[in-house]
Amino acid sequence: MLNDKVILMTGGTGSFGKKCTEVILKRYKPRKLIIFSRDELKQYEMSQVFSDKEYPSIRYFIGDVRDKERLHRAFRNVDCVIHAAALKQVPAAEYNPFEAVKTNILGAENIINVALDRGVKKIIALSTDKAANPINLYGATKLCSDKLFIAGNSYVGRDETAFSVVRYGNVVGSRGSVIPFFLKEKGKGVLPITDPRMTRFWITLEQGVNFVLSCLERMVGGELFVPKLPSMNIMDLAKAIAPECKTKVIGIRPGEKLHEVMIPSDDARRTLEFKNYYLIQPDFRFFTRRFKAKGGKPVAEDFEYNSGTNPWILTTDKLKEMMKTL
């Protein structure tokens, strides 16, 4: 799929970007793999692991998705774009709302426009569970970004450019995740719990990368992909990580949900179920022909993909196995 192709990844020095780079270089032979990000220190550190001497296809571009001119230069002859750049810390987005809008919304608009101008074939954007029925600014900016990428297909005309979105839940061990926080706190003997009823979906970094790459291969434009994932209660998570620790309930944080929703019931009428994932079809009438040959089974009208009602429960043993990837 990616052999002899030019791939550009925004946010390429983040957790996802580094793992995705590792998988692409191991599995494919791209003509170029462009790591596009705004932090020169992270690029330098990443180049110590993936050097251009060992991997002649790799390129490191300093740039910001807010800068349309730089994107226009970087997208020259690019075949595929994986858009992973975002301001994603919930408290930071609440305190700096204009900055989140500039990166997550205006940055998305820049990528769509430049991709169309440069004739990029496929663009897949990473979303988040927080974009489904958002209650915080980060989630709201990502919902807006998702809508922009899906609608980007309306501007394509007779060209071959296609835009799609991938949405998944909490990544085991990602920065800001509860798992590394619990591992750090277990030495104190007490784990702070926001609410004993809280549940979350879980996925490993490698599973997330594999899902994104599989969606990049199967996408036709306009879809929003959601993987089927196990979920776990926060108390079970705490027991699995530090069974010897006591727990202390501290109350739910601002902008946080009790349960994670990846497909709201309002989207059920447009959702198709496949073996390992769900696909939310776009609302645009003229896109429907794209999905007729794809198969999939419509879900029930009252369906909601919610971590609190998800029948697939993550066991303690499976969680420990997932944590070995850290």
Which amino acids are annotated catalytic?
Answer: 130
Query: Which one-letter amino acid corresponds to residue 23?
Result: V
Q: Copy the structure tokens of residue 236.
A: 């079970």
How many CB atoms neighbour CB 153 within 10 A?
A: 22
Cα distance between residue 7 and residue 100, in whole Å:
25
Query: Which one-letter amino acid corresponds to residue 177?
Result: S
Q: Kindly state the helix (H) or strand (E) to which residue 95 belongs, with its residue range.
A: helix 90-95
Burial (CB < 10 A; 0-12, 13-18, 19+), residue 218, is: middle
Q: Which of 255, 256, 259 is nearest to 198 (CA)?
A: 259
Cα distance between residue 314 and residue 324, in whole Å:
15
Q: Copy the structure tokens of residue 157.
A: 């005309």
Cα distance between residue 220 and residue 217, in whole Å:
9
DSSP letter at 31 equals: S
How many CB atoms neighbour CB 98 within 10 A?
A: 7
Given a contact cutoff of 8 angstroms between Cβ atoms, the answer to whether 121 and 162 are in contact is yes
Q: Which residues contact 140 (CB under 8 A, 6 or more apart)?
A: 134
DSSP bridge pairs for 126 = 166
Given a contact cutoff of 8 angstroms between Cβ atoms, the answer to whether 33 and 9 are in contact is yes
Place of tokens 């620790």: 245
Q: Which of 325, 217, 223, 229 is nearest to 277 (CA)?
A: 229
Given a contact cutoff of 8 angstroms between Cβ atoms, the answer to whether 24 and 50 are in contact is no
